[in-house]
Amino acid sequence: MSARSPAGVDAVLPRGARDLLPAAARRRRAVTDALLAVFDRWGYDPVVTPAIEYFAVFGSWLAERERQRCVRFIEAGSGELVTLRSDITPQIARLAGQQLRERLAAGEAVRLCYAADVVRLSEGAREQSERHQVGVELLGDDAPEADAELILLADAALRAAGVVGATLEVADVGIARGVFERLPNCDVEALHGLLARKDAAGVARFAAGLDLAEEPRRWLGLLCELFGAPGILEHVPEDIRARWPWLAERLARLEAALALVRARAPELHARLVVDLGEVRGFDYYTGLRLRAWAPGSARPLVVGGRYAGGAGFAVELDALEVSLDATGGDKAARAGGVMIAVHGREPRLRAAAAARAEAERAAGRRAWIQAGLSLEAAQAAAAEADELVYIGADERAESWSQGQPGAWRRAEESGA
């Protein structure tokens, strides 16, 4: 039977979707396992959430822009509006409210981790609509120590996945929010854009058009300037700290978390970047904002922070793999095992190959069969194998071993 695609399905995928071939899929699994192993060592317990949710529950957690990106449909039978999950955190919040209330009410910190796919309508031709994430959520602990734990854990996770020396960007969106609350009515979205671009001149022109007190005007300018190594926090003017107790409290919390990171991981502390003008995720996060960057990827490898009720982050597998590809980072090891190849397709020879494969599997090895291949074609097909057993037309079995990819060495010859 032909292996043709069904009519009308000719290598065209929806915008933002992609396939993974075996080597990439194997690496995806290895990276996921490595991340989950790190989270397990830190005490994060795995959970699995459903791919669909009632939109009324799920959407209540999202800003309007993110609600519009949800893939929604009517549930057959009930007529209820449901959605494919576009984020895991709202599901964790629902799960916590339904099933973890007693633990949280008792003062317990609950640590959860997950590996899941999320779907959201793409906003551009190059943006993926399906994303693959492995992440953590820390509920019931809102201390600076919890923020520090997430920063340390994000770096440990990236290192376990093969990313070395990532830059971790840390912010507290409550700082920008506090400034915005002290502004008169204005185009906040436009101000968000200026701050995201670090457009100091544009922010100055924006502020000039507002009736502002001195402190808010000065602080708007500082939001563009206070970006860099953790020592940048020392540049916050003392008089503003004194006049704005809320700001002093926010800064003290951030400084406490960074001090904990410095004490436990000085090398990581040296790679931190602090951005007091961070406004992305303004409608979602309430405090710590965490992102990680590495060469090769235009998207962050880690996104997360503190929100109402908890804190967490997600490792974006697609961005992480782009970075690994660009930097020559960890690649998936060969699958290994033994391939049994038969020159022809005679039932007797195939039965002999099947018996050999069963014996290998019983011994705990990966084994599979190919029929109708020449020795050269069999060696090409056995790229993932450590060993090739080739049963030729003369019914003799040859064993070949592969050290480096494509470097086959004949090991022995015997009767089939």
Please give the torsion angle defined by the CA atoms of residues 56, 61, 66 and 70, in that order, rounded to the nearest 10 degrees: -40
Of 210, 258, 260, 214, the closest CA to residue 232 belongs to 258
**Mean pLDDT in residue range 34-60:** 94
Under 8 Å between Cβ of 268 and 152:
yes
Residue 181 in tokens: 């609350």
**Predicted local confidence at residue 282, as pLDDT:** 61
Distance CA 87, CA 61 (A): 10
| pLDDT tens for each residue of 68-125 | 889 999 988 899 999 999 999 999 999 999 999 999 999 999 999 999 999 988 776 6
Under 8 Å between Cβ of 329 and 106:
no
Q: Which long-range contacts (CB under 8 A, 24 or more apart) does 380-385 make?
A: 381/339, 381/341, 382/339, 382/341, 383/334, 384/22, 384/334, 384/335, 384/336, 384/337, 385/334, 385/335, 385/336, 385/337, 385/338, 385/339
Please give the DSSP secondary-structure letter assigned to residue 152.
Answer: H
Collapsing DSSP to helix, strand or coil, 210 comes out as coil
pTM of the predicted structure, to 2 decimals: 0.88
Give residue for tokens 């969106």.
173
What's the number of CA atoms in the CB half-sphere (13 Å) around residue 405? 7
Q: Among the ranges 14-18, 217-221, 237-241, 279-283, which has the highest mean pLDDT value?
A: 237-241
Residue type, 261: V
**Predicted local confidence at residue 80, as pLDDT:** 92
**Most distant pair of Cα atoms in the chain: their distance:** 93
Residues 6+ apart with CB under 8 A from 302: 154, 157, 158, 166, 168, 290, 291, 292, 313, 314, 315, 316
**Mean pLDDT in residue range 123-145:** 89
**Predicted local confidence at residue 330, as pLDDT:** 63
Distance CA 86, CA 67 (A): 9
Distance CA 300, CA 133 (A): 12
Distance CA 283, CA 292 (A): 20
- Enumerate the β-bridge partners of residue 306: 311
Residue 60 in tokens: 């209540």
Angle separating helix axes 245-264 and 144-160, nearest 10 degrees: 40
Q: Which residue has the higher pLDDT, 408 or 222?
A: 408
- Give strand ranges (E) for 326-366: 338-342
Residues 6+ apart with CB under 8 A from 397: 356, 389, 390, 391, 413, 414, 415, 416
Distance CA 390, CA 375 (A): 7
Tell me the average pLDDT of the chain. Answer: 89
| pLDDT at residue 2 is higher than 50 | no
| pLDDT at residue 4 is higher than 60 | no
Give residue for tokens 């029929």.
371
The fraction of the chain above a pLDDT of 70, given in percent, is 94
